[in-house]
Amino acid sequence: MQTLNIFTNEPDSLPKGKADFLLAASVTRTCEIEGITQAGIPGKIPLTPTLDAEFITNEKVFSMPELAETPKGVPTPALITRAVHNLTPYSSIEVLNLGLDVIPQNTPLLNFNISPSDSIASGAGIDARAVFEKGMIAGKNYELKGNYLILAESTPSGTTTAATTALALGYDCRDDFSSSFLDSPDSIKEKTIDAALLLINDEMNNFEKLSLVSDNMLIFCAGFLLEASRRFHVILAGGTQMAACLLVADALKEDVLMRVKSENITLATTSWVVNDKDSDIKHILSHLSYAPHAIYTSFSFADAEIEVLKLYDKGEAKEGAGAGGALAYANANGITNRELLEKIELLIYGM
Amino acid sequence: MQTLNIFTNEPDSLPKGKADFLLAASVTRTCEIEGITQAGIPGKIPLTPTLDAEFITNEKVFSMPELAETPKGVPTPALITRAVHNLTPYSSIEVLNLGLDVIPQNTPLLNFNISPSDSIASGAGIDARAVFEKGMIAGKNYELKGNYLILAESTPSGTTTAATTALALGYDCRDDFSSSFLDSPDSIKEKTIDAALLLINDEMNNFEKLSLVSDNMLIFCAGFLLEASRRFHVILAGGTQMAACLLVADALKEDVLMRVKSENITLATTSWVVNDKDSDIKHILSHLSYAPHAIYTSFSFADAEIEVLKLYDKGEAKEGAGAGGALAYANANGITNRELLEKIELLIYGM
């Protein structure tokens, strides 16, 4: 495995030491639009963040007999995130409840009185200012246990809400967003994005726009990031969704009279996102007011015994539940591709 | 400050190193019986565990304008627990949701699908076997961050349910239980205990009895303790309630074919409990099938500038929210009475 800079392809890495792992788990009803995502069990997509949270924390799930997987049988990237913990533990694992349908069991959950948001196709119904402020308060109060923080997300259909969010804020990145599908369901996503954008207009301020077309994860994490990165290094573990989160923070920083302490922020994703032909994370990041630090870690399932895992290398699933950040953390701590692959397969055999 | 063995009064102490702090927060509707407890704001007693959880985690509360205090104005012992964290941090702070009315905000909460229990005067309505098993699962899965664990509780009216629990299990300790009052409200407590004991009979097994007359904290923590102490040292931070928790574990161990690994268990409480004339924690502990390790730490508010704190030394409040374990932890880490007193007063001035 190698960790490389997204822009230069030069060797790069995470900070030294141990990291806290924080999963922003959120449901947007957008995920219930037929065919918009494959991040979960068909008909039970809103359970995915709950199951991811339980699995990363406990190595097992309590709220369903089985772990979420795509219809082709590709298991959630939470497997990667948990396997890394077994090889080189995070200093802590906690979950942000940013609107969950089902409360994860036996899982340290931070609550903020946030409900699942509605489908952006008809208006998300978020109080964006309140959610952003809750994120700032949480970021200000968060007590770091290790040396730095990995902030990850589990938000099914989150690439659709992320794309809409970026467009609503005026960023030119229509075709830049990824998907959990190998063959991205463009027409359903496009229709949803178009319907959402019809709900906003130029008279609205940023918070009003986000209240209609964004998701709680993006808004909360943007506020969290602005405050937390003043005190310690924050790794945004994710692909195009976390890139959109950076755009949100950049757009809202002036509303709260803050600057982005970009030297304390790193985006860490997978090679599957960086190499994706259907999206362009570099182009999304190019809209930031600063040169962001962004890395990806090569890891391959080429030698997997469990055939279905090889679909990752073809572009299924790609990212989520902190997989990209976890890979970079593993690499920084000397874990090899082979060790990690074996641990992941062990987890699957054990299920 | 000195930490001493409860039985020998010889110097004693907690293990070396850093401890995780886990607060078992629970509501029993028993606490709504008029005059049974002063652990909280009159009319809002069920909020106390929520506020304790928020305060220990955040040094502030979100669910009420002010921190819980007794009618005489004695602030919650959670102040002691938090002040210790500011002087010598726990490796983590998490809260067990063992039936809460109001979800603590911005606080790492572990959920187990447990609701507040009913008043024992008319039957607690607990599924004791299920709650005990949830405790065992949580104890088995808990990932220790530091070197050992401090398990504390916040359960208003918990001394009444603890006394009833011990009596229901056949232990001879009618007059041994403490109270948050200086002048213990014996008649109300006695009437409640008597009403509860009328609900059970000798045909019932232990789980059936506990389902009627106990509380979720005692049952869950007993299960948790049995499993967790197999792997690491567990400090039960509390007074007569935590002593009752040990009785429950001792009574139920045969139902689950386990033994108590007593060398990995320490009860840690305050001198206010040990010196209480109205209760007898030593006598409660004498019923255990093994010689328990139990300590208390002298700490005094004699030099307090804030007069109301001196009521602790007279026997108000006494214990709760892990105060006794926190004091022992502070002492083991070289914190002096003066440093701690100053930090506690600083917290109060800052509110």
The confidence score (pLDDT) of residue A151 equals 98
pLDDT-based confidence at residue B182 (cuts at 50, 70, 90):
low
Q: Give the number of other Cβ atoms within 10 Å of residue B118's Cβ.
A: 15
Per CATH, the number for B2-349 is 3.40.50.10210
Question: What are the backbone dihedrals phi and psi of residue A324, each rounded to the nearest 5 degrees, phi first?
Answer: -65, -45
- Mean residue pLDDT of chain A comes to 93
Strand, helix or coil at A12?
coil
Q: Compare CB distances from B145 to A91, A103, A105 and report the shortest one's residue.
A: A91
pLDDT-based confidence at residue B175 (cuts at 50, 70, 90):
confident
* CA of B54 vs chain A CAs: smallest distance (Å): 11
Interchain proximity A138–B106, CB inside 8 Å: yes
* CA of A141 vs chain B CAs: smallest distance (Å): 7
Least confident interval from A92-106, B4-18, B27-41, B275-289: B27-41
Is A91's pLDDT higher than 90?
yes
Angle ∠(A96,B110,B108) on CA atoms, nearest 5? 45
The confidence score (pLDDT) of residue A180 equals 67
Angstrom distance (rounded) from CA A238 to CA A49: 14
Angle between helical axes of A323-332 and A78-87 (0-180°, round to 10): 20
Percent of chain B beyond pLDDT 70? 95
Percent of chain A beyond pLDDT 70? 95
If you average pLDDT over residues A72-101, what whole number do you get? 93
Neighbouring residues of B92: CB distance < 8 A, sequence distance ≥ 6: A92, A145, B20, B21, B108, B145, B146
* CA of A134 vs chain B CAs: smallest distance (Å): 9
Q: Give the number of other Cβ atoms within 10 Å of residue A22's Cβ.
A: 27
Ranges assigned E (strand) in chain B = 2-5, 19-25, 92-97, 108-111, 148-154, 234-237, 265-270, 293-298
pLDDT tens digits along B192-227? 999 999 999 999 999 999 999 999 999 999 999 999
pLDDT tens digits along B313-332? 888 888 999 999 999 999 99
Judging contacts by C-beta atoms under 8 Å, the chain B residues touching residue A103 are: 111, 113
Q: Compare CB distances from B145 to A113, A137, A145 and report the shortest one's residue.
A: A145
Angstrom distance (rounded) from CA A282 to CA A287: 9
* CA of B310 vs chain A CAs: smallest distance (Å): 31
If you average pLDDT over residues B18-43, what whole number do you get? 92
Judging contacts by C-beta atoms under 8 Å, the chain A residues touching residue B94 are: 108
Q: Give the number of other Cβ atoms within 10 Å of residue A72's Cβ.
A: 12
Residue from A20, A90, A92, A114 whose CB has the most chain B CBs within 10 Å, to mutate: A92
The confidence score (pLDDT) of residue B174 equals 86
CB A50 within 8 A of CB A104: yes
Angstrom distance (rounded) from CA A174 to CA A164: 8
Judging contacts by C-beta atoms under 8 Å, the chain A residues touching residue B113 are: 103, 105
Q: Compare CB distances from B92 to A92, A110, A113 and report the shortest one's residue.
A: A92
CB B72 within 8 A of CB B231: no
- Listed in sequence order, the DSSP H helices in chain B are 48-58, 78-87, 128-141, 158-168, 186-197, 206-213, 216-228, 240-252, 271-274, 281-285, 310-314, 323-332, 337-349
The confidence score (pLDDT) of residue B69 equals 67
Q: Does B285 touch chain A (CB under 8 A)?
A: no
If you average pLDDT over residues B293-300, what whole number do you get? 96
Q: Which tokens belong to A138? A: 């949480």
Q: Give the number of other Cβ atoms within 10 Å of residue B328's Cβ.
A: 29
The confidence score (pLDDT) of residue B75 equals 82
Q: Does A103 touch chain B (CB under 8 A)?
A: yes
ipTM for the predicted complex comes to 0.82
Interchain proximity B112–A106, CB inside 8 Å: yes
The confidence score (pLDDT) of residue A177 equals 87
CB A314 within 8 A of CB A327: no
The confidence score (pLDDT) of residue A38 equals 80
Interchain proximity A112–B106, CB inside 8 Å: yes
* CA of B58 vs chain A CAs: smallest distance (Å): 7
Q: Does B138 touch chain A (CB under 8 A)?
A: yes
End-to-end CA distance of chain B: 26
Is A185's pLDDT higher than 80?
no
Q: Does A71 touch chain B (CB under 8 A)?
A: no
Is A129's pLDDT higher than 70?
yes
Q: Give the number of other Cβ atoms within 10 Å of residue A126's Cβ.
A: 27
The confidence score (pLDDT) of residue A156 equals 95
pLDDT-based confidence at residue A269 (cuts at 50, 70, 90):
very high
If you average pLDDT over residues A189-202, what whole number do you get? 94
Determine the distance from the C-alpha atom of residue A27 to the mean position of all C-alpha atoms in its chain, rounded to a whole number: 12
Interchain proximity A106–B108, CB inside 8 Å: no
Question: Which residues are bridge partners to B27 per DSSP?
Answer: none
The confidence score (pLDDT) of residue A314 equals 87
pLDDT tens digits along A272-290? 999 998 899 999 999 999 9
Judging contacts by C-beta atoms under 8 Å, the chain A residues touching residue B111 are: 103-107, 109
Least confident interval from B6-15, B94-103, B125-134, B176-185: B176-185
Q: Which tokens belong to A105? A: 């069991």
The confidence score (pLDDT) of residue B37 equals 85
Is B73's pLDDT higher than 80?
no
Interchain proximity A109–B105, CB inside 8 Å: no
CB B71 within 8 A of CB B42: yes
Q: Does A91 touch chain B (CB under 8 A)?
A: yes
Angstrom distance (rounded) from CA B144 to CA B19: 9
CB A300 within 8 A of CB A327: no
Angstrom distance (rounded) from CA B294 to CA B276: 16
Determine the distance from the C-alpha atom of residue B171 to the mean position of all C-alpha atoms in its chain, rounded to a whole number: 20
Q: Give the number of other Cβ atoms within 10 Å of residue A190's Cβ.
A: 15
Question: In degrees to the nearest 10, what's the CA dihedral of B179, B180, B185, B186?
Answer: 0
pLDDT tens digits along A36-64? 888 788 888 999 999 999 999 999 899 98
Residue from B54, B91, B145, B224 whose CB has the most chain A CBs within 10 Å, to mutate: B145
Q: Does B93 touch chain A (CB under 8 A)?
A: yes
Q: How many angstroms separate the Cα of B193 from the Cα of each of B129, B159, B169, B323?
A: 22, 10, 13, 26
The nearest alpha carbon in chain B to A104 belongs to B111
pLDDT-based confidence at residue A68 (cuts at 50, 70, 90):
low
Q: Does B147 touch chain A (CB under 8 A)?
A: no
Rg (CA), chain A: 18
Q: Compare CB distances from A141 to B91, B103, B106 and report the shortest one's residue.
A: B106
Q: Are strands A108-111 and B148-154 parallel, antiparallel or unpaired?
A: unpaired
Is B109's pLDDT higher than 80?
yes
Instruction: Give residue A153's identity as a one-letter amino acid code.
Output: E
CB B270 within 8 A of CB B300: no
Angstrom distance (rounded) from CA B144 to CA B231: 9
Beta-carbon-side half-sphere exposure of residue B125 (alpha carbons within 13 Å):
13
Interchain proximity B107–A110, CB inside 8 Å: yes
Is B66's pLDDT higher than 80?
no
A-B C-beta contacts closer than 8 Å: 52
Q: Does B115 touch chain A (CB under 8 A)?
A: no
From chain B residues 39-68, the ones with a CB under 8 A of any chain A CB are 58
Interchain proximity A111–B92, CB inside 8 Å: no
Is B183's pLDDT higher than 70?
no
Is B7's pLDDT higher than 70?
yes
Angstrom distance (rounded) from CA A230 to CA A226: 7
Q: Compare CB distances from B141 to A89, A106, A143 and report the shortest one's residue.
A: A106
Angstrom distance (rounded) from CA B32 to CA B18: 37
Is B252's pLDDT higher than 90?
yes
